[in-house]
Amino acid sequence: MITHLPILQVVIPLMAAPICLILKRPQLAWIFALAVSGLAFAISLVLLQQVMVSGVISYELGGWQAPWGIEYRIDQLNALMLLIISTISTIVLFAAPESLDKEISKDKHTYFYVLYLLSLTGMLGIVATGDAFNVFVFLEITSLSAYALIAMGKKKQAVWASFQYLVMGTIGATFILIGIGLMYQMTGTLNMQDLAQRLPEVSQTRTVFTAFAFVIVGVCLKLAMFPLHLWLPNAYAYAPSIVTAFFSATSTKVAIYLLIRFTFSVFGLSFSFTTVPLQTLFMTLGVLGIFVASISAIYQHNIKHLFAYSSIAQIGYMIVGFSISSVSGLTATLLHLFNHALMKSAIFLALAAVAYRVGNVQLDNLKGLGREMPWTMAAIVIGGLSLIGVPLTVGFVSKWYLLTALIEQGWWPIAVLILLGSMLAVIYVWKVVEIAYFKESSGAPVKEAPLSFLIPIWTLVIANVYFGIDTRFSVEIAQAAAQSLFGGGL
Amino acid sequence: MNLSLEVMLQLSIVLPILSIFAIIAAGRYPNLREGVTITTCLILICFVSNLYQGLLSGETISAFWWELLPGLTISFDIEPLGMLFALIASFLWLVTTCYAIGYMRSHEEKNQTRFYVCFAVAIGAVMGLAFSANLFTLFVFYEVLTLSTYPLVTHAGTEKAKQGGRIYLGILLTTSIVFFLLAIVSTWFVAGTLDFKLGGIFADDVNPLITGTLLVLFIFGIGKAAIMPFHRWLPAAMVAPTPVSSLLHAVAVVKAGVFTVLKVCVFIFGLDLLAVLPTTQFLLYLAGASVLIASIVAMRQDNLKARLAYSTVSQLGYITIGALLATSSGVIGSSMHIAMHAFGKITLFFCAGAILVTLHKSKISEMAGIGRQMPITMAAFFIASLSIIGVPPTGGTWSKWYLMMGALEADQFAIMMILMASSLLNIAYLLPIPFHAFFPNLISFKQENQIPSSTGTSINTMSGLQIKEAPWPSLIAIVVTTLGCLTLFVYPQPLFELASAVLTGRG
C-alpha cells in the first residue's frame, strides 16, 4: 500500500469525482469530497515524510519501467507542492457548503464538488508525475475543470471571465504541448529525467531552443506572469468565492512549479540561464510585474480584483527569486510559494465570508465591517500584514530570504526595488483597512460570519503567524528542495 | 516572589501583553479595568527595578526564546542603556495611566478599553525592544510598536485622525522596511551576525564605503528618531488623545527611535569605527539641521501640541547628534537626555492635555491668563520648559552639559554652535507660554487688551479667578513628573552611572 502512495495521491480524487455524481445529494457529495481531500492531505504528509527521510521516491505506473512506462517521481519539491495543494484544498472545502448556498443555485452543488475534485486531481497529477506528456494531460484536466468552476460564478461576467481564461489557458496549454512535442522529436522520450539526460546532446539545435521558448511562454501564461497576466484578475474576481480561495493558493503555484521543473530539471541550469538570457528577462519582468500589478491593485474598487492584482505582484517576487538562479534565490521562491498560499487563501476565504454576509465585495461594502465582522476583518488585516512582510508573519520570512539572496549576488538596486514594492502593498492593504474600520456602515448591520467560515479562516491565519515564527519546517523543506534542484538530476 | 532574574526579564515583556486579556475581560467595569492596568504597571516596575538591582550587582541577565531563522534568534540581554530606557518607560507608564484615567473620563473618550489594550501592547513592545540582544529582535519589536500604536493615533476615528494615521504608518513603515530592513539584512550579510556587541560587529577590513552607506541607511531607516526629512509622522500623530501623545510620542515611540540609533552606533558600529566613517559628518549636519529647523518651525506653531511635537523633533536631533559624535561624553549625554527629555516633555504634554480637558483650549494664543486658573499646571509647565531648555535647577542641565562636552571633544564647533542656538530657540518658543499665562497684561498682549473688551474675552483675566485645575489623577501625574525633572537635577547620580556604564559594559 505504502509503495503505491504516489499514484494513489492522484487516482483517489480522480475516481472520487464521478462517485460524487452518483451520490447526487450535495450534502453527501460535500462530506465525500472533504473526506477525499483529507485523504489526499494525509497521503501527501506521508509522502513528504518519506522523501525527507529516505530521499526521492520513484513509482512505475503499471510496473512498466521508465522511460518506456510513465514514472511518478516525488522529490522534496514535489512533496512540498503536494502538501500545499492538498492542505489548502481541504481547509477551503470546510467552508464550501455555506458559501455555495449564497452563490450557486442548489441543483449545481453536486457538479461543483465533481469539478473541484477533478481540478484537485489535475493539480496533484501535474506535480506528482515525472512524465512531460502526463503534465500536459493533467494540465488540461485542471484547466477544463477550472473554466467550468469559474463560469459557475453568480454574476454574468463570470462566463466572460471564464472565456477569457479559456482562450489564454488554451494558448498556454497548446504552447506547452508544442514544446513537449518538439522535445520528443529531438530526443524520442517523454520522461523528464530521460529528457534531462538527452537534451544536452542536442541543446544547440534550433528545435530545442524553439521547444524551450514554447514551454516557457506556455507556462508563464499559466502562472500569470506579467505581462501575460490579463486573464487572472477577472477569473479570480468573478469565480465563486470558494474557487478563488482555492485557486489563488494553488493554481498559479503549480505553474511556478512547472517553470522550475522545466528550467532546472529538464533543460538544466546551464541551458536555461547561460545559453538563454532568461535571467535578465525574468528579473526585469518580475520587478515590472511587482510594480505594475501593485499599482493596479491600489486603483481597484472590487476587493477580489485588488487582491488578484496583489497575487500577480507576489508572483513577481517569486519570479525575481527564481531568476537569481542561486540556491538561496530558489529557496526564497519556494518559501514564498508556500507562504503566499497561506496568505492568499486566508484573505480570499475571509472575502468569501464577507460575500456570504454582505453579498458583494466592492470596497464600499466593507464600510463598518471592522465593527460588525471583527474576526473576519482581523483575518484580512493579518493576511494583509503578511503580504506587506511584517515580522512574525510568513511574509517576512520569505522577504528576508529574497533580500539575502539578492544581496548575496550584490544586486542592491533590485533589493531596494523589492522593498519599495512592499510599500505599495502597504497602500493597497491599508485602503481596505481604512474603509473597514473608519467608515460608518451605510446599510443594515450584518452579523459576524458563521463558524464554518471562521474556523478554516483562522486555521489559515494562525498558520500565517505560526510559520512566521517557527520557520524550521518550511525553511528546511524549501532549502532541501532548492539544493536538490541544484544538485542536478530530478 | 522568588522569581529568577531571567524569568523576570521575560515576564516584563510578556506581562503587559498578557494583561490585555484581563483588560478586555474587565472592559465593562472601568474601575476594575483601570485597576488591572495599574496593577500591571506596579508589577512591571517591581520587575524592572529588580532587574536593575541585578544589573548593578553585576549579574548577566539574558534569555533566549526561539530561533526564527537559522542564526537569527529572538533573544534578550540586559545592558545599561536598555535598562535605563526600560526604567523610564515602565515608570512613566504608571504615571501616564494615572493621568489617562483623569483625562479619558473627563474628556469622555470612546473605546477606552481598546485604548488601554493597545497601550499595554505598546509597552510590552518597548520592553522587548529595550532588552533585545540583537538587531533582529529589536526590529521585530520596533514593528510591533508601530502597529500597536496605530489604533491609538487614530483613536478619534475622524477623517483627520485617519489622515494622521496614514502619515504615521506610511512614514514609519516605509522607512523601517525600505531602509532599516535593508540595512539589517546587509549587516547580517557583511558581518555575519546581528548580536549587539560593545565595540561593534564589523570586521576591520570591511570597506568603509559599505559601512558608511549602512550607517546612512540605519539613520534614515530608524524613522522613529524623527530626523528630518522623516519627521512628518510625529506632528501628524498629535491627533491622538493627549495621554498617547505624552507617553508614546514623548517617551516610548520616539525614545525607541533614538534608543535604536544609540544601540546601532555603539553596539553595531562601535565608536571607533563610527568616528572614521565618511558619512558620519554628513549625518551630523543633517541632524544639526533637523535640530535647528524643527526649533524654528516650532516657534511658528499656534497649536500647543504641534509646537511640542516639533520641539520633540528638535530634541531627538540632540540625541542622534550625541550618538554620532562618537565620543564617550556624547553617548553619556545622549543616554541621559533620553531620560531628561522624557520627564520634561511628558510633563509638557500632560499640561497641554490638562488645559484641553479643563479649559478646552488648544491654541497658544488663547492661553494668556490661564495661570490664574491653573496655577499648578502652569508652574509645572514652566519647570518642564526649563528642563527642556537645559537650565538649573532641572535635570536637562546635565544632559545638555555632556552633549556640549561631547561636541567639544570631537572638535565639532559647528555642532556646538547649533546646540547653543537651538537652546536659545527653546527659550523663545517655550517660555512665553507660561509667561503669558501668569502675566497676561505684559508684553505683546498689551495691544490686544487695548481692543474693547467685547472681543477680548479670549483673555481670561475677567472670566473669574477661581482655580479650576485638571481632574486629580491627572494633576498627581503632572506633579510627579515635574518633581522628577527637579529630582534629576539634584540627584542625577544613578542615571549618570547607568549612562556611563553603557560604554564600559556591565553596571
Res B447 pLDDT > 50? no
pTM of the model: 0.88
Q: What confidence category does residue B1 fall into, taking pLDDT thresholds of 50, 70 and 90?
A: low
Q: How far is CA B418 from CA B54, B261, B295, B394, B423, in A?
A: 39, 20, 11, 21, 9
Distance (Å) from the alpha carbon of B125 to chain A's nearest alpha carbon: 13
Condensed to tens digits (0 to 9), the pLDDT of residues B43-87 reads 999 989 988 888 888 878 888 888 887 788 888 988 889 999 999
Confidence at residue B274, expressed as pLDDT on a 0 to 100 scale: 87
Confidence at residue B34, expressed as pLDDT on a 0 to 100 scale: 84
| Rounded-to-integer distance, Cα A455 and Cα A94, Å | 8
**Mean predicted confidence (pLDDT) in A230-248:** 90
CB neighbours of residue B432 within 10 Å = 17
B335-356 residues labelled b (16+ CB within 10 A) or e (exposed): bbbbbbbbbbbbbbbbbbbbbb
Is the omega angle on the peptide bond into residue B440 within 30 degrees of 0, that is, cis?
no
Q: What confidence category does residue B2 fall into, taking pLDDT thresholds of 50, 70 and 90?
A: low
Distance (Å) from the alpha carbon of A257 to chain B's nearest alpha carbon: 24
Distance (Å) from the alpha carbon of B141 to chain A's nearest alpha carbon: 9
Confidence at residue A292, expressed as pLDDT on a 0 to 100 scale: 93
Q: What grid cell was written down for A49? A: 515524510
Res B419 pLDDT > 50? yes
Query: CB-CB: which of A401, A419, A475 is closest to B177?
Result: A419
Q: Which chain A residues are within 8 Å of B144, Cβ to Cβ?
A: 391-392
CA neighbours within 13 Å on the CB side: how many for A68? 4
Chain A residues touching chain B at CB-CB below 8 Å:
385, 388-392, 397, 399-401, 403-404, 407-408, 415-416, 419-420, 422-423, 426, 430, 434, 438, 469-471, 475
Structure letter (DSSP) for residue A48 = H
A408: closest chain B residue by CA: B189
Res A1 pLDDT > 70? no
Burial class (CB in 10 A: 0-12, 13-18, 19+), A377: buried
Q: Cβ neighbours of residue A389 under 8 Å, at least 6 residues apart? A: A395, A396, A398, A399, A422, A425, B177
Confidence at residue A59, expressed as pLDDT on a 0 to 100 scale: 85
Confidence at residue B454, expressed as pLDDT on a 0 to 100 scale: 43
The β-bridge partners of A77 are none
Res B451 pLDDT > 70? no
Percent of chain A with pLDDT over 70: 99
Q: Which chain B residues are within 8 Å of A426, Cβ to Cβ?
A: 169-170, 173-174, 177
Q: Cβ neighbours of residue B453 under 8 Å, at least 6 residues apart? A: B462
Distance (Å) from the alpha carbon of A469 to chain B's nearest alpha carbon: 6
CA neighbours within 13 Å on the CB side: how many for B499? 28
Q: What grid cell was written down for A179? A: 514544446
Confidence at residue A348, expressed as pLDDT on a 0 to 100 scale: 93
CB neighbours of residue A55 within 10 Å = 12
Q: How far is CA A125 from CA A82, A139, A292, B19, B419, in A?
A: 9, 8, 33, 50, 70
| B268: containing domain | 12-501
Interface with chain B: mutation pick from A392, A401, A441, highest number of B CBs within 10 Å: A392
Contact B157 A475 (CB under 8 A): no
Query: Where is pLDDT greater, at B28 or A231?
Result: A231
| Rounded-to-integer distance, Cα A156 and Cα B416, Å | 71
Taking the alpha carbons of B114, B120, B125, B130 in that order, is the dihedral positive or negative? positive
Condensed to tens digits (0 to 9), the pLDDT of residues B269-318 reads 888 888 888 888 899 999 999 999 999 999 888 888 889 989 999 999 99
Confidence at residue A489, expressed as pLDDT on a 0 to 100 scale: 43
Condensed to tens digits (0 to 9), the pLDDT of residues B192-209 reads 888 888 888 888 888 888
A424: closest chain B residue by CA: B174
Confidence at residue B465, expressed as pLDDT on a 0 to 100 scale: 59
CB neighbours of residue A54 within 10 Å = 8
Condensed to tens digits (0 to 9), the pLDDT of residues A414-431 reads 999 999 998 899 899 988
Chain B residues touching chain A at CB-CB below 8 Å:
66, 68-70, 139-140, 143-144, 147, 154, 157, 161-162, 166, 169-170, 173-174, 177-178, 181-182, 185-186, 188-189
Question: What residue spans of B175-279 are helical by DSSP H?
Answer: 182-191, 208-221, 233-236, 242-247, 253-263, 271-276
Contact A391 B140 (CB under 8 A): yes
In a domain, B2, yes or no: no
Res B453 pLDDT > 60? no
Helical (H) or strand (E) element with A27: helix A26-54
Query: Where is pLDDT greater, at A440 or B285?
Result: B285
Confidence at residue A385, expressed as pLDDT on a 0 to 100 scale: 92
In a domain, B4, yes or no: no
Query: Where is pLDDT greater, at B260 or A369?
Result: B260
Res A490 pLDDT > 50? no
In a domain, B3, yes or no: no
| Rounded-to-integer distance, Cα B459 and Cα B23, Å | 42
Res A131 pLDDT > 70? yes
Confidence at residue A298, expressed as pLDDT on a 0 to 100 scale: 92
Q: Which chain A residues are within 8 Å of B166, Cβ to Cβ?
A: 430, 434
B169: closest chain A residue by CA: A426
A416: closest chain B residue by CA: B178
Place of cell 505581462: A227
Condensed to tens digits (0 to 9), the pLDDT of residues A60-117 reads 887 787 777 888 888 888 999 999 999 999 999 988 888 888 888 888 888 999 999 9
Does the ipTM exceed 0.95?
no
Tally of domains within chain A: 1
Tally of domains within chain B: 1
Query: CB-CB: which of A400, A401, A426 is closest to B173?
Result: A426
In a domain, B128, yes or no: yes
Query: CB-CB: which of A385, A404, A422 is closest to B185?
Result: A404
| Rounded-to-integer distance, Cα A57 and Cα A51, Å | 7
| A188: containing domain | 2-486
Q: Which chain A residues are within 8 Å of B170, Cβ to Cβ?
A: 426
Contact B169 A430 (CB under 8 A): yes
Contact A391 B166 (CB under 8 A): no
B176-193 residues labelled b (16+ CB within 10 A) or e (exposed): bbbbbbbbbbbbbebbeb
Contact B69 A400 (CB under 8 A): yes
Confidence at residue B442, expressed as pLDDT on a 0 to 100 scale: 61
In a domain, B5, yes or no: no
Confidence at residue A320, expressed as pLDDT on a 0 to 100 scale: 93
Is the omega angle on the peptide bond into residue B151 within 30 degrees of 0, that is, cis?
no
In a domain, B1, yes or no: no
| Rounded-to-integer distance, Cα A401 and Cα A303, Å | 29
A-to-B residue pairs, Cβ atoms closer than 8 angstroms:
62
Condensed to tens digits (0 to 9), the pLDDT of residues A29-38 reads 899 999 999 9
Helical (H) or strand (E) element with A370: helix A369-372
